[in-house]
Chain A
């Protein structure tokens, strides 16, 4: 490949984009405050368009092919969502405009809050958090504030199952909480004995991912919730896996007190090469007053002629803001469109087909790849990427070889409780033919692992670059490239 870097493409003196000339009398520039150099690239539009187009061609994306990246719900991102987010009435609205000039945005946010409440079984929802991890932070801060308001500020311990995502412990630590890990039992559920032993008066809460990161619905979830509540703690739900539960069960009905949704997973907003996401948080009645502000509410009810008047309100004991302005509105507009196009029936079909597809792949692969907790799974499952008879081959080799077949590899080496984990989440938007092609490739790779292990060890072969040297990257730390700096006056 070797697409040049911007700094290599730059040609001193080349001018790309021009703005209109100044149409007002010029003011003197502030003396002593001007930069002498502005070492940015000098390109024209053709350079730039080709550079980024060529770079894009080095990527795999959902639009190109199957992307079974477990825990990330890489479902198809509908094109109409992109049109909606770019409607001038949405894209060109300032966040601080008077409320009466943004009734469309506020109505949409209000309705989205309502639908998320309904789907999750919660009494209140904030749309402010930027992503799942920020939703977690919001939730843990709400839990802390709740205990403080009840005169229980000694509650500073958060329990986290050993199967949890890294953001759960990282979030708890950021909120000044003490993290205690709880192991999983032989069926992949939270170990009730281990949980019981930690249920004491320092317990602030438990962060539960259900279905968990093995893709399994915790069979004891009601008992887990009961134990935590009985000890005075609250249950946080990591909603990364909500794609398994739409119209199947409402987390709030199971007693979960706080949960974050991921609009960028469950509700089809694109992952953008790493973001932006959107991580709304739903809470039970007793936590509504602690939500970050502002929330959207109806200020004056509507009638037959007039729609309601929407506006921002601040919850009484709010933990405060977690973000400037009102959250990722552009993601909300996309998620709203998606929800509107699925409705009540479609919502349940999303999860039914997500679970069907995952179980189908599990059934097709379980004889070839060891599935350590082999029962009906939810929207994803975890297989081992290793075989006892060929110890040299690891999950990484299988993942890399999959790329040669045109597939994005599954999440690997997570969850940590499975050796050489391959976490496979097909999502509901894949056809039977795509699933079969993937299963065939996986089975072929298992054969190759024995007949020609070198093929795996040296994979991938058909990608723009081969295996990269991560150690060199970390050791030599080349993190940017300098632009030739010519004097500004030479313009």
Chain B
């Protein structure tokens, strides 16, 4: 507990207020419901609480103890020590939204750095200060595109190769709005150009993922052209690590880039907090949701930073705001900023290449095993789909005995991909680990064969 009042201080304060007891402060609360007897355990000291939390943590199997090949939207990367060391500065993490610029320049300038880095990475022109995650960033892109056409275009063409959770969130957000979503039932093996016939004059937004949920990378130039020819916008949800190596959505002609920023120095933490990236072109800046930091000067003539274009936001515009977002992912954006600052141009390229080469090595090793084959011939980045000879959960159970965390079971989201596993490889997977994965799979095939005989 973090209270300071001594009994004498408490009495003095009550006297100043003019009441006799703490109870007297709660007369406005209906008496019948006042002071409920809460069924909560008694308080623990810090020492006891920490040991209880350690027990919980030990009941998990962390990927520090396992070799992980699980990705599907959350990736295991190395986080340089300096990232967390800086994040733990109380000046950063115990501040709130920088509404008072004179005592928040640290947060404001860091956000400006963040916006600059995201713009450079994505090839776009403006970035906001963050969304909750990769999923809500896409949902907000839909709202923005819909508003951009003043509600006159209600069709959204959505690739089935966008992360299933992102698509689910998009549907949740759009329930009760006129937005109509098409495209999710397209053939999964087709590339993004299969979306083109669905783009019509009612289309506000076309959404793809890059690399897509299956790890594949496609040139999006034709898709962007087709969207623009119909007057629609193109949104691309990215994995930022891949942009250390690959062409930017900006080069293809994308209008909005969203993405999950977790790979940029944010621990897996069982799914959050992560970071929603959102960047777009200048002409849409007033339609964009979220906080935005701009450069200006103070009354002493010094360069300074401040939240700007706030007339888009809920605290000014209320029901006419571009979004209801208020608290965003500030500290996670700072983590990504520090990560990108440290890695910089050379480090980000290097980590992207490591992921790429190791994933390709893994794919080659695994598909050399009997019964395993690559599902797609398309180029891929650091994740790929293999058709397996057995149900994925059986394989994963077996791998766990070798302290290996297997890939994602795609049959959960795509019935047509039963027995297909999505495997992610990053710089954290050594050659030896990849070899062990292939060996463990080989043992399984061998056991399987033996049991048939």
Distance of B354 from chain A, by nearest CB (Å): 6
Minimal Cβ-Cβ distance residue in B for A416: B318
Which of B107-115, B200-208, B225-233, B440-448 is the interface stretch?
B107-115
Distance of A154 from chain B, by nearest CB (Å): 13
Please determine whether B102 and A254 come into contact, CB atoms closer than 8 angstroms: no
A selection of 10 A-B contacts at a CB cut-off of 8 Å is A19-B427, A55-B105, A130-B329, A131-B328, A166-B326, A217-B26, A272-B93, A324-B135, A344-B40, A480-B112
Give CA–CA (A248, B17) in the complex, Å. 19
Please determine whether A40 and B17 come into contact, CB atoms closer than 8 angstroms: no
Please determine whether B349 and A488 come into contact, CB atoms closer than 8 angstroms: yes
Interface presence of B38 (CB below 8 A): yes
Interface presence of B377 (CB below 8 A): no
Which of B152-160, B187-195, B285-293 is the interface stretch?
B285-293
Minimal Cβ-Cβ distance residue in A for B245: A34
Minimal Cβ-Cβ distance residue in B for A480: B116
| Given A58-B109, A72-B96, A91 and B315 contact (CB-CB distance below 8 Å) | no
Give CA–CA (A258, B105) in the complex, Å. 38
Q: Which residues from chain B contact A2 at a C-beta distance below 8 Å?
A: 302-303
Please determine whether B344 and A376 come into contact, CB atoms closer than 8 angstroms: no
- Identify the 4 closest CB pairs spanning chains A and B, nearest first: A89-B57, A325-B271, A63-B90, A274-B330
Q: What mask results when residues 96 to 137 of chain B are scored 1 for a CB within 8 Å of chain A, else 0?
A: 111011111111011111011101110100110110111110
Please determine whether B112 and A319 come into contact, CB atoms closer than 8 angstroms: no
Interface presence of A463 (CB below 8 A): yes
Distance of B91 from chain A, by nearest CB (Å): 4
Q: Which residues from chain B contact A467 at a C-beta distance below 8 Å?
A: 102, 298-299
Beyond the given A56-B91, A90-B60, A429-B3, please list 10 additional residue pairs across the A-B interface where CB-CB is below 8 A: A33-B247, A93-B269, A94-B68, A131-B132, A276-B329, A341-B46, A353-B5, A460-B102, A474-B309, A479-B126
Interface presence of A386 (CB below 8 A): no
| Given A5-B113, A102-B60, A356-B25, A480 and B127 contact (CB-CB distance below 8 Å) | yes
Q: Which residues from chain A contact B78 at a C-beta distance below 8 Å?
A: 19
Q: Which residues from chain B contact A136 at a C-beta distance below 8 Å?
A: 324
Please determine whether A169 and B309 come into contact, CB atoms closer than 8 angstroms: no
Q: What mask results when residues 205 to 216 of chain B are scored 1 for a CB within 8 Å of chain A, else 0?
A: 000000000000
SS class, residues of chain A in contact with chain B: loop
Distance of B326 from chain A, by nearest CB (Å): 5
Interface presence of A300 (CB below 8 A): no
Please determine whether B92 and A59 come into contact, CB atoms closer than 8 angstroms: yes
Cβ contact of B91, chosen from A59, A98, A217, A275, cutoff 8 A? A59
Interface presence of A219 (CB below 8 A): yes
Please determine whether A356 and B10 come into contact, CB atoms closer than 8 angstroms: yes
Interface presence of B171 (CB below 8 A): yes
Cβ contact of B96, chosen from A19, A74, A145, cutoff 8 A? A74
Minimal Cβ-Cβ distance residue in A for B3: A353
Please determine whether B14 and A275 come into contact, CB atoms closer than 8 angstroms: no
Interface presence of B267 (CB below 8 A): yes
Give CA–CA (A172, B324) in the complex, Å. 9
Count of A-B residue pairs with CB < 8 Å: 698
| Given A89-B57, A466-B298, A363 and B17 contact (CB-CB distance below 8 Å) | yes
Q: Which residues from chain B contact A64 at a C-beta distance below 8 Å?
A: 90-91, 94
Interface presence of A184 (CB below 8 A): no
Minimal Cβ-Cβ distance residue in B for A130: B132
Give CA–CA (A3, B113) in the complex, Å. 12
Interface presence of B222 (CB below 8 A): no
Please determine whether B244 and A59 come into contact, CB atoms closer than 8 angstroms: no
Please determine whether A274 and B396 come into contact, CB atoms closer than 8 angstroms: no
Interface presence of B450 (CB below 8 A): no
Interface presence of A35 (CB below 8 A): yes
Cβ contact of A274, chosen from B68, B72, B96, cutoff 8 A? B96
Please determine whether A42 and B219 come into contact, CB atoms closer than 8 angstroms: no
Minimal Cβ-Cβ distance residue in B for A253: B33
Q: Which residues from chain A contact B292 at a C-beta distance below 8 Å?
A: 479
Please determine whether B94 and A63 come into contact, CB atoms closer than 8 angstroms: yes
Interface presence of A237 (CB below 8 A): no
Q: Which residues from chain A contact B331 at a C-beta distance below 8 Å?
A: 270, 272-276
Interface presence of A229 (CB below 8 A): no
Minimal Cβ-Cβ distance residue in B for A174: B324
Please determine whether B34 and A248 come into contact, CB atoms closer than 8 angstroms: yes
Interface size class of B (residues with CB under 8 A): 35 or more
Q: Which residues from chain A contact B116 at a C-beta distance below 8 Å?
A: 5-7, 480-483
Q: What mask results when residues 420 to 436 of chain A are scored 1 for a CB within 8 Å of chain B, else 0?
A: 00000000111110000
Please determine whether A330 and B272 come into contact, CB atoms closer than 8 angstroms: yes
Please determine whether A95 and B270 come into contact, CB atoms closer than 8 angstroms: yes
Cβ contact of B101, chosen from A20, A67, A134, A468, cutoff 8 A? A468
Please determine whether A52 and B86 come into contact, CB atoms closer than 8 angstroms: yes
Q: What mask results when residues 33 to 57 of chain A are scored 1 for a CB within 8 Å of chain B, else 0?
A: 1110011111101001101110111
Interface presence of A360 (CB below 8 A): yes
Q: Which residues from chain B contact A282 at a C-beta distance below 8 Å?
A: none
Cβ contact of A96, chosen from B58, B74, B90, cutoff 8 A? B74
Please determine whether B100 and A326 come into contact, CB atoms closer than 8 angstroms: no
Interface presence of A236 (CB below 8 A): no
Q: Which residues from chain A contact B176 at a C-beta distance below 8 Å?
A: 141, 144, 175-177
Distance of B297 from chain A, by nearest CB (Å): 5
Interface presence of A441 (CB below 8 A): no
Minimal Cβ-Cβ distance residue in A for B128: A479
Q: Which residues from chain B contact A353 at a C-beta distance below 8 Å?
A: 3, 5
Give CA–CA (A53, B85) in the complex, Å. 10
Distance of A132 from chain B, by nearest CB (Å): 6
Please determine whether A324 and B314 come into contact, CB atoms closer than 8 angstroms: no
Please determine whether A23 and B330 come into contact, CB atoms closer than 8 angstroms: no
Distance of B84 from chain A, by nearest CB (Å): 7
Interface presence of B436 (CB below 8 A): no
Minimal Cβ-Cβ distance residue in A for B103: A60
Please determine whether A77 and B351 come into contact, CB atoms closer than 8 angstroms: no
| Given A16-B342, A60-B103, A131-B327, A97 and B61 contact (CB-CB distance below 8 Å) | yes
| Given A30-B379, A61-B90, A92-B63, A17 and B344 contact (CB-CB distance below 8 Å) | yes
Interface presence of B408 (CB below 8 A): yes
Within 8 A of A (CB), among B163-200: 163, 165-166, 168-169, 171-173, 175-177
Minimal Cβ-Cβ distance residue in A for B279: A480
Residue of A115, A307, A325 contacting most chain B CB atoms (<10 Å): A325
Cβ contact of A59, chosen from B5, B95, B313, B328, cutoff 8 A? B95
